[in-house]
Amino acid sequence: MSRTEDERPASDPGKRTADAELAVARMTEMSVDMRGCAVLGGDGEELASSGGSGWARAGAAFLEAADSAQGEPAVQVHVATEDGEAFAVREGELAMVAVAERFTLASLILFDMRTVLRDLASGNGVPDRRAPVQEDP
């Protein structure tokens, strides 16, 4: 008997990828200045991305540069350049990297990234936080 999406265990690679895709979709929807983002797994592999290509390599290099800047693992990175702003957030073995328009409100982007990634890392899926939970009458 086949299992539905919600019944699969959190360790199931298929569910993990589906959750990562949901996380990317939610992130893209929430942040209007977002140009693209991706979720990377523990080995630096790309679990999901909003488009573009080469996220795994570029994201891993970005995290590597941040880690080696002071010789310790970074939990959050923000680099603002003339062409746009690059962000990275780590949660457990997962990482989310994102690129936004210049002069975006960085604190909001980082807050959204942290929230989505924390939900994803918990293994309980990515809840829809856009509206209050509707109680059954």
- Closest contact distance (angstroms) between CB of 43 and another protein is 18
Residue type, 123: G
Smallest distance from the beta carbon of 17 to another protein, in angstroms?
A: 19
Nearer to another protein, 15 or 117 (CB): 117
Task: Give the containing element (helix H, strand E) for 9.
Answer: none
Nearer to another protein, 16 or 35 (CB): 35
The residues with which 97 forms a beta bridge, in sequence order, are: 38, 88
Least distance from another protein to the Cβ atom of residue 88, Å: 8
Which lies closer to another protein via its Cβ, residue 81 or residue 134?
Answer: 81
- What one-letter code names the amino acid at 54? G
What residues have CB less than 8 Å from 86, skipping those under 6 apart? 62, 77, 78, 79, 97, 98, 99
10 Å CB burial of residue 55 (0-12, 13-18, 19+) is buried
Tell me the C-alpha to C-alpha distance, in Å, between residue 97 and each of 5, 18, 23, 131, 137: 26, 18, 12, 25, 41
Please report, as ranges, the residues that interact with another protein according to CB under 8 A. Answer: 35-37, 51-55, 57-59, 61-62, 64-66, 68-70, 72-84, 86, 97, 99, 103
Nearer to another protein, 15 or 94 (CB): 94
* Nearest distance from C-beta of residue 51 to another protein, angstroms: 8
